[in-house]
């Protein structure tokens, strides 16, 4: 969009010109994901996951709309209506399993997308708003996923709703009225289920709207890249179409293959058996665990066991909210001028410690709260906060980054300027030319 060499949209037909003069939607698409959007030529596969997140959002919206044609949001009918979908509705079992596993895969690709952003410093100037809009999407996703999990009205649905709305009661004075307001009663019931269904249907469209803002904000500076060096000239880039559409296309098909293997051959692997038991407000399951994508946060919540000035419950809830909110400050917590973790030896080490730490938190959050699990989650939570709020600012102050390449092209071409052809001009290449005979 903001590159001088970006190819302007030129309608090929008279009809194309007619439309372009009246509603330049094709021009918009061309500039956003077509030949008119120059993208750094050196993106690696970690850059494919943003598009994949869009794919899974679409899958969730489409399957969700058809499931809503059969689902009843009533405490007496919800569980049976889901089983009716599974048993009697044409292809209902497939739609429901796709929706169920689609939620997990949406989170998988989003987590990879977030970690790519953290490693390559994609949150740094001038992309701070891209990062913050992404976090808004993530928060909306968490709310949507949580409310969606309540809808089947199984045991985990019910007790998940009970426990998660219980967070709010930790706040002094306003907490209990807030919880009752959220539930529309003293415990999860009909009012809760109906409002969760309403919001679960609404929020994905809000997410789609914020996704558009996220992409818009991204297209002003353009995509970052593995070197973190700014685009300087035309040969640093390739047009999005056909190069990155082709790359996203094959990689997307490969990820969908993995998704299909889960959906069709292990559809309940990522779920919990207790959600196949209808909700019973009088009996709590032996262990309440959220879906796997919330495990790290559940571990943070449970890590606080001591009433130190504030009650432990309030500490846990504050820490859980803070663990996400602090990410909004990430562009200012890490103010190293170098973006890419590849050129930051110290940052890189701590990045991988963070990854291991989060896996540890996830492990702890998915298990029954034995003393060992709690101790692990206490140390891991401490590292989480230390990493972002203490270590990262210190690294960016004291680290000596490796020398950066002058530009994407010089780094990629090893300084051999004579061998390069400007992007956009096709040259026969030794590796791919077909022999004549």
Would residue 387 show up in a list of annotated catalytic residues for this protein? Answer: no
Task: Give Cβ neighbours of residue 81 (< 8 Å, ≥ 6 apart).
Answer: 70, 71, 72
Would residue 223 show up in a list of annotated catalytic residues for this protein? Answer: yes
Burial class (CB in 10 A: 0-12, 13-18, 19+), 307: exposed
366, 359, 372, 360: which is closest to 289 by C-alpha?
A: 366
Which lies closer to another protein via its Cβ, residue 22 or residue 419? 419
Would residue 99 show up in a list of annotated catalytic residues for this protein? Answer: no
Which lies closer to another protein via its Cβ, residue 161 or residue 380? 380
Which lies closer to another protein via its Cβ, residue 298 or residue 304? 304
128, 109, 115, 188: which is closest to 155 by C-alpha?
A: 188
Would residue 219 show up in a list of annotated catalytic residues for this protein? Answer: yes
Q: Shortest distance, CB of residue 123 to another protein, whole angstroms?
A: 15
The beta-carbon contacts of 358-361 under 8 Å, at least 24 apart in sequence, are 358/296, 358/384, 361/295, 361/296, 361/299, 361/300
- Torsion sign across C-alpha atoms 57, 58, 64, 65: positive
Q: Shortest distance, CB of residue 215 to another protein, whole angstroms?
A: 21
Q: Shortest distance, CB of residue 241 to another protein, whole angstroms?
A: 10
In the set 247, 272, 313, 387, the catalytic residue is 247
Q: Following CA atoms 82, 86, 89, 91 in sequence, which dihedral angle do they give, to the nearest 10 degrees?
A: 130
In the set 122, 200, 291, 336, the catalytic residue is 291
Q: Shortest distance, CB of residue 111 to another protein, whole angstroms?
A: 22
In the set 223, 224, 336, 409, the catalytic residue is 223
Which lies closer to another protein via its Cβ, residue 193 or residue 314? 314
Q: Shortest distance, CB of residue 37 to another protein, whole angstroms?
A: 16
The tokens for 252 are: 């997307």
Would residue 12 show up in a list of annotated catalytic residues for this protein? Answer: no
Which DSSP string corresponds to 246-272?
HHHHHHHHHHHHHHHHHHHH-TTTTS-
Which lies closer to another protein via its Cβ, residue 83 or residue 128? 83
| 3-state per-residue secondary structure call for 102-134 | HHHHHHHHHHHHHHHHHHCCCCCCCCHHHHHHH
Active site residues: 219, 223, 247-248, 291
């Amino acid at each position: 969009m903001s590159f001088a060499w970006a190819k302007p949209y030129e309608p090929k037909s008279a009809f194309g010109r007619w439309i372009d003069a009246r509603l330049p939607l094709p021009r918009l698409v061309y500039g956003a994901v077509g030949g008119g959007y120059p993208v750094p030529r050196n993106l690696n596969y970690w850059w494919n996951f943003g598009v994949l997140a869009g794919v899974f959002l679409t899958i969730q919206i489409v399957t969700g709309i058809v499931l809503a044609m059969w689902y009843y949001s009533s405490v007496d009918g919800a569980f049976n209506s889901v089983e009716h979908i599974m048993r009697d509705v044409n292809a209902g079992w497939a739609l429901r399993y796709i929706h169920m596993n689609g939620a997990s895969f949406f989170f998988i690709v989003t987590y990879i997308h977030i970690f790519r952003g953290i490693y390559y410093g994609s949150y740094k100037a001038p992309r701070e708003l891209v990062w913050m809009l992404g976090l808004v999407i993530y928060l909306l996703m968490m709310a949507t996923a949580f409310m969606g999990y309540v809808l089947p009205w199984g045991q985990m649905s019910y007790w998940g709703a009970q426990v998660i709305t219980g967070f709010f009661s930790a706040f002094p004075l306003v907490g209990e009225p807030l919880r009752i307001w959220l539930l529309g009663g003293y415990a999860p019931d009909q009012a809760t289920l109906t409002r969760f269904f309403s919001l679960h249907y609404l929020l994905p469209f809000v997410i789609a709207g914020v996704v558009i803002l996220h992409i818009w904000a991204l297209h002003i500076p353009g995509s970052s890249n593995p070197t973190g060096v700014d685009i300087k000239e035309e040969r640093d880039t390739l047009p999005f179409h056909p190069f990155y559409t082709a790359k996203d296309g094959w990689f997307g098909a490969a990820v969908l293959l993995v998704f299909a293997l889960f959906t069709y051959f292990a559809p309940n692997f990522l779920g919990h058996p207790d959600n196949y038991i209808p909700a019973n407000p009088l009996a709590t399951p032996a262990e309440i665990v959220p879906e796997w994508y919330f495990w790290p946060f559940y571990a943070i919540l449970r890590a606080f066991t001591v009433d130190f000035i504030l009650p432990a419950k309030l500490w846990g809830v504050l820490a859980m909210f803070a663990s996400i909110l602090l990410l909004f400050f990430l562009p200012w917590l890490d103010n190293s001028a170098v973006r890419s973790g590849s050129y930051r030896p110290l940052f890189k080490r701590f990045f991988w410690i963070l990854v291991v730490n989060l896996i540890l938190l996830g492990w702890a959050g998915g298990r029954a709260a034995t003393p060992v699990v709690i101790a692990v989650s206490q140390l891991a939570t401490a590292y989480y906060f230390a990493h972002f709020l203490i270590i990262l600012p210190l690294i960016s102050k004291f680290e000596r980054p490796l020398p950066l390449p002058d530009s994407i092209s010089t780094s990629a071409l090893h300084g051999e300027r004579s061998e390069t052809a400007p992007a956009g001009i096709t040259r026969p290449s030794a590796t791919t030319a077909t022999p004549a005979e």
